[in-house]
Structure 1
C-alpha cells in the first residue's frame, strides 16, 4: 500500500470515529429528558421552598429526570400562578402551592390573572397544615394570653402582626383575633414568610401569623415562640401549644392544604405518571418524617381528591370572606 493510500485510509478511520462519537453524543442528548420546573410562589428560605426542595430531590430519582425548584415570589403566589398559566402544557412546568393562591387569592383580588378551575389541573396533594400565631423573643410573652395582656398594657391596646401576604388566611385570622380579644391589631403584609420572620428575629415586629412549618425551627431554637395554632387538634410537632379552638376562637376547622398543579391541557399520561411518583415519594419514611417535623400532616391525595379538597376549602373561605365584609381589590 502506498504512503498516500495509507494516509487516506487513516483519515477515513479518524473521520468515521469522530462521526460515530458525535452521533452517540447527539443520541444521548436527544434521549435526555427535559428538566421539570417546579414553581414556588414564595422566596427561598420559607416553608414552601423547603418543602419543594425536599420533594424535588426524591422526585428526580423516582422520575429519572431533573426536577428544578424555581422561585417566583410575590403577591402571595400570584406571580408564580400567572407563570404557570403562561407555560406550555407539555409536562415541563408544575406549581407547588398551598391553599392561599388557589382557594383564597382569586376571591380577594379582582384581576388575579388566572382562574385555578379553568387554567390549572390538579396533579397531586400531599399534606395539610395549620397556621400559627408566634411572638418574637423580644417580647415577654410566652403564651397567647401573655401577648394579649402585653398588647393591652405596653401597646395600649394596639399592635402590628406580620403576615406573609395581604388578603390571606393570616390577615383574616388577625382580624378575628382582634375582635375576639378586643385589641386593635393591624396586619403588616410581607412578600412571604421568610422576610417576615427575619423582622421578627430582629424584633422589628413583635408578632406574626404563618404556617407551622414556617415557624417550627426558630420556635424549637427559642428564637421566637409559637403561642397558638389553628384547627381542632394540637400539632404533633408542637404538642404543648394550644389550639385557638381550645381558646374559644371558632371558624377555622377546615385545614389548609398543599398541592401540585399543571397548566390546563397537560397530557393525562404525564399527570398520572407524576401523581404516582408523588404517591411513592410521600410514602417514603424519611420524607414523611422530615415533613412531619416541619409541622405538616402528610398524606397523598390523587388529582380527584385534591380537586375535592380545593372545592370544599374554597367554599368554606367564601363564607368567611363574605362575613368579614372584605371587598376584593
Structure 2
C-alpha cells in the first residue's frame, strides 16, 4: 500500500511539474498579447513556405499563442533577413531560413544589409537536406546523362537552368556542372522555387536546381524528374536517383540546413523556451514523417549546434566561392 501511495504521489508531482512548466512557457509568450511572426524569405507554395506552415501550426499548440507565417519574398531571403534585423527583440518575430540566406548570401552580396553572426541569434535547427537537379516533363531525358546528351545534340551544348535565387548554391552547382561536362549552361535566377517550378511545369525552362523539398511532390507525380542529388548518399525519399558523387562531381559533402533565428538582443529565456518547443514538435511522429516525406533529414539542433553547423557550412562554401572566381556584387 505504501509503495502504491508513493508511486501515486510521484506521478502527481511529475504531472504538476509538467503543467507548471507548460503554464510558465505559455505565459512567457502570451505576455505581449501579440502573435509570433515567422518570417519566410520565399513566396507561398515553395518548400520553405510549406515547412514553415507545418511547424507553425504545431508550435501554436505547444506555446499556447498564435504563430503566423509571414512571407517576405525577394533577393534570396535578403528582404526577410533585413526585416528580422529591424524587428524588436521582444520574442514576437522569428526567421525560418535555410543555408542560402544565412551562409551564402552574405558572401556573394557586398551590402546585404545584415550580418547573421552579429544581428541574429540562433534559436534552433531542425533538419538538413540536399539540393537536386531536375528536368521538366517536356524534355526527353530520363537520367542526368540523358540530359547532358540532349543539351549537346539539341542545344549545341547550350542550355538554361533555373535556380531559386541568384548567387546561390544552385547557381554555383550549375557552373560546376557546366565546367565538368563542357556545357555552356546559364543559370536563370527566379524569386524563389515556386515561380521556377511553375515555369518547369509549363515547359518554359528545361531544367532547374533546388532543394529536394522544392521538387519532391512533382517528382512523385511524374511532372518533373529529379535526375541527380548532391552529396554522397542517396535520399530515402527518392532512392533510385543517383548522387552527383556517384556521377563524379565531388566536394559537396557539407549538407545544407534549416534553422530558426531571432533578432540579436532577444531575451535568453525566449530563445531557450522556443528552442525546447521546437525540439518537442520535431519529435512528433506525424511531423517527422511529413518533413521526411518532403525530402528532409530531420534532427533537432540546439542553438549552439545550429551556430556550429552555420559556421562550418559558411567556411566550406567560402572555399568553393573563392575557387569559382565569383566576385561579390
TM (norm. structure 1) is 0.90
Looking at structure 1, the residues matched to 48 and 118 of structure 2 have their Cα atoms a distance apart, in angstroms, of 24
1:31–1:209 CA distance, 2 compared to 1 (3 A): closer
Per the TM alignment, residue 33 of structure 1 is displaced from its structure 2 partner at its CA by 3.4
Number of aligned residue pairs: give it: 300
The question of 1:249 aligning with 2:249 is answered: yes
**Which structure has the larger Rg over C-alpha atoms?**
1
Per the TM alignment, residue 31 of structure 1 is displaced from its structure 2 partner at its CA by 6.1
Which residue of 1 is the match for residue 211 of structure 2?
211
Which residue of 1 is the match for residue 153 of structure 2?
153
Which residue of 2 is the match for residue 112 of structure 1?
112
Which residue of 1 is the match for residue 12 of structure 2?
none
Q: Deviations over 1:92-125 (max 9, x none)?
A: 0000000000000000000000000000000000
Looking at structure 2, the residues matched to 57 and 33 of structure 1 have their Cα atoms a distance apart, in angstroms, of 18
Which residue of 2 is the match for residue 63 of structure 1?
63
The question of 1:283 aligning with 2:288 is answered: no
Which residue of 1 is the match for residue 271 of structure 2?
271
Q: Deviations over 1:111-170 (max 9, x none)?
A: 000000000000000000000000000000010000000000001100000000000000
Per the TM alignment, residue 32 of structure 1 is displaced from its structure 2 partner at its CA by 7.6
The question of 1:228 aligning with 2:228 is answered: yes
SS of the aligned residue for 1:245 comes to: helix
Looking at structure 1, the residues matched to 182 and 238 of structure 2 have their Cα atoms a distance apart, in angstroms, of 27
Which residue of 1 is the match for residue 54 of structure 2?
54
Which residue of 2 is the match for residue 139 of structure 1?
139
Which residue of 1 is the match for residue 6 of structure 2?
none
Which residue of 2 is the match for residue 301 of structure 1?
301
SS of the aligned residue for 2:246 comes to: coil
**Any unmatched runs of 5+ in structure 1?**
1-29
SS of the aligned residue for 2:121 comes to: strand
The question of 1:33 aligning with 2:33 is answered: yes
Per the TM alignment, residue 34 of structure 1 is displaced from its structure 2 partner at its CA by 1.6
Which residue of 1 is the match for residue 183 of structure 2?
183
Which residue of 2 is the match for residue 5 of structure 1?
none
Looking at structure 1, the residues matched to 188 and 85 of structure 2 have their Cα atoms a distance apart, in angstroms, of 29
Looking at structure 1, the residues matched to 123 and 261 of structure 2 have their Cα atoms a distance apart, in angstroms, of 5
Q: Deviations over 1:292-316 (max 9, x none)?
A: 0000000000000000000000000
Looking at structure 2, the residues matched to 301 and 33 of structure 1 have their Cα atoms a distance apart, in angstroms, of 28
Q: Deviations over 1:190-223 (max 9, x none)?
A: 0000000000000000000000000000000000
Looking at structure 1, the residues matched to 114 and 58 of structure 2 have their Cα atoms a distance apart, in angstroms, of 30
TM (norm. structure 2) is 0.90
The correspondence of residues 1-16 of structure 1 with structure 2, limited to 5 A, is none
Which residue of 1 is the match for residue 326 of structure 2?
326
Looking at structure 2, the residues matched to 217 and 99 of structure 1 have their Cα atoms a distance apart, in angstroms, of 22
1:65–1:139 CA distance, 2 compared to 1 (3 A): same
SS of the aligned residue for 2:244 comes to: coil
Q: Deviations over 1:161-186 (max 9, x none)?
A: 00000000000000000011111100
**Any unmatched runs of 5+ in structure 2?**
1-29
